[in-house]
Structure 1
Amino acid sequence: MNTLASPLSVSPALETDFALPAVHPALGAEVRVQLHPQGIPLFVTPASTRLKEDFAAFHAWFVAHEQAFEDLLKVYGALRFRGFPIRETADFSTMMAHYPSADMGYNGGGTPRAVVAGKVFEATRFDKELTLPLHQEMSYLPDWPLKVAFYCRVAPSSGGATNIGDIRRLEALVPQQLFEQVRQRGVLYKRNFRDGRLPTDGWHSYLTSLHRPWQQAFYTDDPAEAQSACEKMGLEWQWLEDGSLQTSYRNSGFITHPVLGSRHWFNQIATLIPLPSGSQAWNAFIEHYGEDKPRPNDVQYGDGTRIPRELVEVLRLAYAQATVSEPWQAGEVLLLDNVLTCHGRAPFEGTRDVQVQLIGSCSND
């Protein structure tokens, strides 16, 4: 349960009763708020007919209360707007248009996605049968977005939640030995982007999703442009004999929140280090890469030494314990503070159309 004190905090009764909403003084009487029983997200729902039915009225109200949402994000880290008339991608784009967009886009990102319209992207094309672990967006790169906004245009028939977790809760669960070692030594990210011109016949679908072509990751077929993009992003790079592009980047594994000034766990150790799971996907991974082929992702301590797998296993259990999974409803928008809240995706069945926008540009300190 999120117990952080705030003049905008929700009444204690709501923290134990997800079903009963209440008017929030900072937002006015036209909306109600309710806190998920697990502490996040904070739900905002319309109480007036005009905010339920009139997008223009909702948009004006949303923009007018930007500071209230900023204050709430500092406390809860995740706001979920449910029941408002956000019907199409254009509405989602308009809703977030007053926020500063993130300059980096998805250049060099870790999972496949495409532009939907303007600054709106697909959330991910990661295999629907697999779980995308909790992570903070682009924490493995020098530049990253302060906020991430998700929009559910079409909810899947089953599963597919955008899982979230409170980083402050997670920090209390991280193995102390790993926490201190990262604090002292930092982290080193090694990533490999395959040559998209080479065939992938016989590859497991998990591998084609996980091991992105550099042409796709950097939105170019020109090696010189890919190199230039790496340099602009602050990544070291080299071309390997198989035509793949290898990058590396070191950072502290922690970040100072640019608004709050608090220091937080900020890395993708649990996401980018593969661990045996006994699954068909894992067996395909081991069979394909063995010990010699460059793997799509790897994380080490900043001095280049291996992070013990047993610590990573405990870390993953901590992320699982901190996970909050709430099914999507069509038309919902989820706004996250990218430092205070990590996110992922549950497996799903049916059609899922979840879109994303990156908000605000920040850099590692």
Structure 2
Amino acid sequence: MTSVTTGALSTAGEQGRDSSGGELPLMLTPTEPGTDWRSCIEDIRQLVDRHLYRVGGLLLRDFDFSGEEDFEAFARAFGHDLLSYDYASTPRTRLSKGVYTSTEYPAHQVIPLHNEQSYTLQWPMKIWFHSIRVAESGGETPIADSREVYRRLDAGLRTRFADRGLMYVRNYGNGLDLPWQQAFNTEERSAVERFCRANQIVFEWKPDGELRTRQRCQAVAAHPVTREPVWFNQAHLFHLSNLAPQVRETLVSVVGEAEVPRNVYYGDGAPIEETALDEIRGVFDGCQVVFPWRVGDVMMLDNMLVAHGRSTYRGERKVIVAMAEPCPQPE
């Protein structure tokens, strides 16, 4: 492991188990542990400017972060308003304006690697994670370089997905997934309809008052700054094959495939081959970098360049999240 010292800060690649990411994440530590991050924020910003697009993610360790308000102030220090978790796909709790709990899935459930809100046409470019309480075991946040995922996938598969795009289908509520009121942060149907029209989402109110949406999105994207191609979608996460076989079989037998909470197809509505999705999952597994959280750690990712997930865990765990900088819209 090599390190470079700049002023009051030192950088080094964090090497974790199952690591195939080179320097990812680049670890940034103060030369004096416990240093208040505010005292060296200019140096931190310079290192972020220098390394984030190259590496994709930085891990700040051994700084003095004193809870949620401090974390919010740090995320805001990079010059963008924090984003609300609109058009949500997982349960979270809002802690303050722009700060949320990480996904509140049961501890035994793995969250596959993914890029935040890549199932939409409007995603955050930056995302921060702050470790407040470390689990007794497990609970890591695996990450993977989206450029490397793209490079390792079969060229024919990449072309097929890029050319055809994806269509995400969601059925809200009925005790199976988020109610539409929670997903859209509103009780007003008219607000949902405005949001859907503005974001090219086809919507349908069903006879029972529940909502179904369809949205055609990218499978591959070019980073607006580096121009590098990245694998940027959640097909392997949204697809029915992500469920355990018995759960999937039971769900389909009870409600039918058209009514499952979420699924994904090629952009023209054709089914995606499960062999392709298995290949995608295998490549993500081969690219993942896993490191143990420490209390007080803050990780900053370029959301297009690096995917993240969550390992299973035991004991109490608390990681909070902030997002910023909406992706540039094509002209």
TM-score above 0.5, yes or no:
yes
- Residue in structure 2 matched with residue 182 of structure 1 by the alignment: 161
> Quick one: structure 1 residues 236 and 279, their matched pair in 2 at CA, closer, same or farther if it must change by over 3 Å?
closer
Q: State the AA in 2 paired with 1:346.
A: S
Question: Aligned-pair distance for 1:31?
Answer: 2.6
- Residue in structure 1 matched with residue 70 of structure 2 by the alignment: 91
TM-score if structure 2 supplies the norm length? 0.91
Question: Aligned-pair distance for 1:224?
Answer: 2.0
Cα distance in 2, alignment partners of residues 127 and 248 from structure 1: 27
Tell me which moved more, 152-161 or 221-230.
221-230
SS at match of 1:217: helix
Alignment partner of 1:119 is 2:98: yes
Question: Aligned-pair distance for 1:60?
Answer: 3.3
- Residue in structure 2 matched with residue 331 of structure 1 by the alignment: 296
Alignment partner of 1:296 is 2:261: yes
- Residue in structure 2 matched with residue 253 of structure 1 by the alignment: 219
CA deviation vs aligned residue, 1:272-315 (integer Å, no higher than 9, x gap): 11216656644553454343x41222221112111111111111
Q: State the AA in 1 paired with 2:318.
A: D
TM-score if structure 1 supplies the norm length? 0.83
- Residue in structure 2 matched with residue 10 of structure 1 by the alignment: none
Q: State the AA in 1 paired with 2:34.
A: E
- Residue in structure 2 matched with residue 45 of structure 1 by the alignment: 29
> Quick one: structure 1 residues 32 and 315, their matched pair in 2 at CA, closer, same or farther if it must change by over 3 Å?
closer
Tell me which moved more, 32-41 or 336-345.
32-41
Cα distance in 2, alignment partners of residues 277 and 216 from structure 1: 23
SS at match of 1:271: helix
Q: 2:8–2:30: 8 Å Cα contact kept in structure 1?
A: no
CA deviation vs aligned residue, 1:100-139 (integer Å, no higher than 9, x gap): 4467521112111111122111111122211111111111
Cα distance in 2, alignment partners of residues 261 and 85 from structure 1: 35
Tell me which moved more, 143-152 or 254-263.
254-263
Question: Aligned-pair distance for 1:324?
Answer: 1.4
2:312 corresponds, among 347, 361, 365, to: 347
SS at match of 2:207: coil
Cα distance in 1, alignment partners of residues 215 and 243 from structure 2: 27
Larger RCO (CA within 8 A; separation ≥ 6):
2
> Quick one: structure 1 residues 193 and 124, their matched pair in 2 at CA, closer, same or farther if it must change by over 3 Å?
same
Cα distance in 1, alignment partners of residues 39 and 231 from structure 2: 35
1:168 corresponds, among 124, 134, 147, to: 147
Q: How many residues align?
A: 325
Cα distance in 2, alignment partners of residues 41 and 353 from structure 1: 20
1:314 corresponds, among 270, 273, 279, to: 279
Question: Aligned-pair distance for 1:68?
Answer: 2.2
Unpaired runs of 5+ residues, structure 1, are: 1-13, 15-20, 201-207
Q: 1:155–1:352: 8 Å Cα contact kept in structure 2?
A: yes
Cα distance in 2, alignment partners of residues 274 and 135 from structure 1: 16
Alignment map for 1:272-287 (pairs within 5 Å)? 272-275=238-241, 278=244, 281-282=247-248, 284-287=250-253
Cα distance in 1, alignment partners of residues 169 and 42 from structure 2: 40
Cα distance in 1, alignment partners of residues 229 and 184 from structure 2: 31
Q: State the AA in 2 paired with 1:271.
A: L
Tell me which moved more, 281-290 or 249-258.
281-290
> Quick one: structure 1 residues 288 and 151, their matched pair in 2 at CA, closer, same or farther if it must change by over 3 Å?
farther
Question: Aligned-pair distance for 1:364?
Answer: 5.6
